[in-house]
A and B are shown apart, each in its own frame.
Chain A
């Protein structure tokens, strides 16, 4: 496309104008710094007040807890960087598990068939979310709120009709269970420590998301559609495809988490998942993702999910009333939003040189 230029550029003075930005400024410009500092402070705090937290086993339990939120949060974070919301993610997780469990149990099919059907269903829901948002121009908050209620109602209604109760049938005797249990819910035993496979999947998804966001052109497009969709469209970025793709990424990860719950517990309560959509959003926001889009990164979202896992368990380890957890989460969210605002102002108004 271009050939490197051999001649020195004729225009303004070179070195005098070039500024090496100090590392502190660079560091503060990164979205995840606030979350990282918070995570370290909370970690040390609980090491002091909760003796039970001081074992490796407890740490891996925290990681597991974080991964159950973190996997979907990876997608929700990317979607929020792309400037959209998804409130239907929490219940879609349950829908995926219920669909797989009931479909295969009632028809006596191999569980793999149900896994595929649940995947197609979830991708379909993500597509509909994205398509409706892009087609109608209605804010994604409203579209996915509608989808949230539709799925919540359908989860309960369909389960009641099919099984006569509000939980899906136990599937652990069916064909394909062993392999699927390994893929979605295996626990590796290392001495007294048990490491859930979801932690590995979670890290994998985080790394993939970080790669996509920072290193690929799709990542460039995601930031652009979230930062300024009109500008992105004008330079030829396929805005609609990017956003629909993001909704489908979220729904794919919902499917994945749904599969984990199904193959870990073998049966699912139809009312589960309500409220989790906010945990995903909190993980993303605490991790430095800007609510209005165009700013954030995958590591921050992962740290946000880790803070969630740590706090939800350590309150128990510390012997406190777990009811305080939600209050704590709320405080974290408010602090995160304020830190984000401050950091963003710092990084966009910074004077270099």
Chain B
């Protein structure tokens, strides 16, 4: 598994080198503030975990990095240069690939067409030149096998795969197309224990291959298994921002479960019981 990644990973990546730096980033949708004062650094060979409850601003953060919605406060730097993404293509061109929670696949299309969507292998530059269909099918099949997904028929519509398999296709696709920064939006949310394990192993392998990974989740256990750095968002702001060495799983879990609010709630419930 790791071999595949090493093969495709950009050889110029050096562990610890900052790939994406966000400073004081904020986002407002009209009068609604979705994010405020976010500082986030994605380093090569590290996993940055972003945790938070529903509506905490995780999705907005991803949309900024992946170019779907531009930020309107603060600065975003990629490889030391300030950027302002205007489209997902922009962000992809900077080597940032995103695997979305809602599984960015087109369900009626075949597995191999989905795998290569947006990065098709064409015979030449001419827009009407034929795609190398046999190569594309073979590569898609091989890449998926390396992730431990055996699709029964590479020509089947991707909608016939399980949610976990679709997730893996999306991740394999991003890695295969030479992403330097991989953004995983709740990759384990819809998965069973075993398939979560596959995804987490692959995340770790991507990290070891030198990619910068942003791992968005609301499961602190999954985050702690792979993360180097943890950020917890609440109502659009960071309430915790610590390195792995500074934080224990207990604290993450407690913060995610509600943290101080939970303690207060416990006191209140305690007092009403008597």
A348 partner, pick from B1, B4, B160, beta carbons under 8 A: B160
Count residues of B near A (Cβ-Cβ below 8 Å): 53
Q: Quick check: which of B29-37, B107-115, B233-241, B249-257 contacts chain A, the rest being far away? A: B107-115
On chain A, the residues within 8 Å of B133 by CB distance are: 215
Is the pair A17, B116 in contact by a Cβ cutoff of 8 Å? Answer: no
Complex CA distance for A221 and B157, rounded to whole angstroms: 15
Is the pair B157, A347 in contact by a Cβ cutoff of 8 Å? Answer: yes
Whether A135 sits at the interface, judged by CB under 8 Å, is no
Is the pair B156, A352 in contact by a Cβ cutoff of 8 Å? Answer: yes
Whether B131 sits at the interface, judged by CB under 8 Å, is yes
Specify the chain A residue showing the minimal Cβ separation from B110. Answer: A223
Give chain B interface residues in 131-157, CB to chain A under 8 Å. Answer: 131, 133, 139, 142, 145-148, 150, 152-153, 155-157
Give chain B interface residues in 56-114, CB to chain A under 8 Å. Answer: 66, 68, 87-89, 92, 98, 100, 102-109, 113
1/0 per residue, CB under 8 A from A, across B145-173: the answer is 11110101101110110000000000001
A77 to chain B, nearest CB (A): 16
Whether B128 sits at the interface, judged by CB under 8 Å, is yes
Whether A51 sits at the interface, judged by CB under 8 Å, is no
Whether A164 sits at the interface, judged by CB under 8 Å, is no
Whether A108 sits at the interface, judged by CB under 8 Å, is no
Is the pair A231, B104 in contact by a Cβ cutoff of 8 Å? Answer: yes
Complex CA distance for A238 and B88, rounded to whole angstroms: 10
Whether A212 sits at the interface, judged by CB under 8 Å, is yes
Complex CA distance for A223 and B114, rounded to whole angstroms: 10
B197 to chain A, nearest CB (A): 13
Complex CA distance for A257 and B47, rounded to whole angstroms: 59
Whether A18 sits at the interface, judged by CB under 8 Å, is yes
Whether A136 sits at the interface, judged by CB under 8 Å, is no
Complex CA distance for A21 and B130, rounded to whole angstroms: 25
Q: Which DSSP category, helix, strand, loop or mixed, fits chain A's interface?
A: loop
Is the pair B157, A235 in contact by a Cβ cutoff of 8 Å? Answer: no
Whether B225 sits at the interface, judged by CB under 8 Å, is no
Complex CA distance for A37 and B142, rounded to whole angstroms: 37
On chain A, the residues within 8 Å of B131 by CB distance are: 215-217, 220
B150 partner, pick from A18, A294, A347, beta carbons under 8 A: A18
Whether B190 sits at the interface, judged by CB under 8 Å, is no
Whether B192 sits at the interface, judged by CB under 8 Å, is no
Complex CA distance for A5 and B146, rounded to whole angstroms: 10
Count residues of A near B (Cβ-Cβ below 8 Å): 45
Complex CA distance for A11 and B116, rounded to whole angstroms: 22
Is the pair B88, A233 in contact by a Cβ cutoff of 8 Å? Answer: yes
Complex CA distance for A11 and B205, rounded to whole angstroms: 15
On chain B, the residues within 8 Å of A217 by CB distance are: 120, 122, 127, 131
On chain A, the residues within 8 Å of B127 by CB distance are: 216-218
A228 partner, pick from B106, B145, B146, beta carbons under 8 A: B106
Whether B118 sits at the interface, judged by CB under 8 Å, is yes
Is the pair B118, A9 in contact by a Cβ cutoff of 8 Å? Answer: no
Is the pair B150, A12 in contact by a Cβ cutoff of 8 Å? Answer: yes
On chain B, the residues within 8 Å of A212 by CB distance are: 128
A11 partner, pick from B89, B122, B148, B156, beta carbons under 8 A: B148
On chain A, the residues within 8 Å of B139 by CB distance are: 2
Complex CA distance for A201 and B167, rounded to whole angstroms: 44
On chain A, the residues within 8 Å of B109 by CB distance are: 220, 223-224, 227, 294
On chain B, the residues within 8 Å of A230 by CB distance are: 102, 104
Complex CA distance for A156 and B106, rounded to whole angstroms: 44
A232 partner, pick from B92, B118, B157, beta carbons under 8 A: B118
If the complex has contacts A228-B106, A228-B107, A231-B104, are A216 and B160 also in contact, measured as CB distance less than 8 A?
no
Is the pair A11, B150 in contact by a Cβ cutoff of 8 Å? Answer: yes
Complex CA distance for A47 and B130, rounded to whole angstroms: 40
Is the pair A218, B128 in contact by a Cβ cutoff of 8 Å? Answer: yes
On chain B, the residues within 8 Å of A231 by CB distance are: 100, 103-106, 117
Give chain A interface residues in 1-31, CB to chain B under 8 Å. Answer: 1-3, 5, 7, 9-12, 14, 17-19, 21, 26
Specify the chain A residue showing the minimal Cβ separation from B122. Answer: A217
Whether B14 sits at the interface, judged by CB under 8 Å, is no
If the complex has contacts A3-B7, A223-B113, A232-B118, are A238 and B89 also in contact, measured as CB distance less than 8 A?
yes
On chain B, the residues within 8 Å of A220 by CB distance are: 109, 113, 116-117, 120, 131
Complex CA distance for A64 and B119, rounded to whole angstroms: 40
Specify the chain A residue showing the minimal Cβ separation from B173. Answer: A235
On chain B, the residues within 8 Å of A2 by CB distance are: 7-8, 139, 176
Complex CA distance for A2 and B1, rounded to whole angstroms: 15
If the complex has contacts A2-B139, A215-B133, A234-B68, are A349 and B117 also in contact, measured as CB distance less than 8 A?
no
B118 partner, pick from A237, A294, A348, beta carbons under 8 A: A237
B186 to chain A, nearest CB (A): 15
Whether B129 sits at the interface, judged by CB under 8 Å, is yes
- 4 further A-B contacts with Cβ under 8 Å, apart from A228-B106, A294-B108, are A9-B146, A211-B130, A234-B68, A238-B89
Give B contacts to A, CB under 8 Å. Answer: 1, 3-4, 7-8, 66, 68, 87-89, 92, 98, 100, 102-109, 113, 116-122, 127-131, 133, 139, 142, 145-148, 150, 152-153, 155-157, 159-160, 173, 176-178
Could you list 25 A-B pairs, sorted by A, with CB under 8 Å? A1-B177, A1-B178, A3-B7, A9-B142, A17-B152, A18-B152, A26-B155, A211-B130, A215-B130, A215-B131, A216-B130, A217-B120, A223-B106, A224-B109, A230-B102, A230-B104, A231-B103, A231-B105, A234-B98, A294-B106, A294-B109, A347-B157, A348-B108, A348-B160, A352-B152
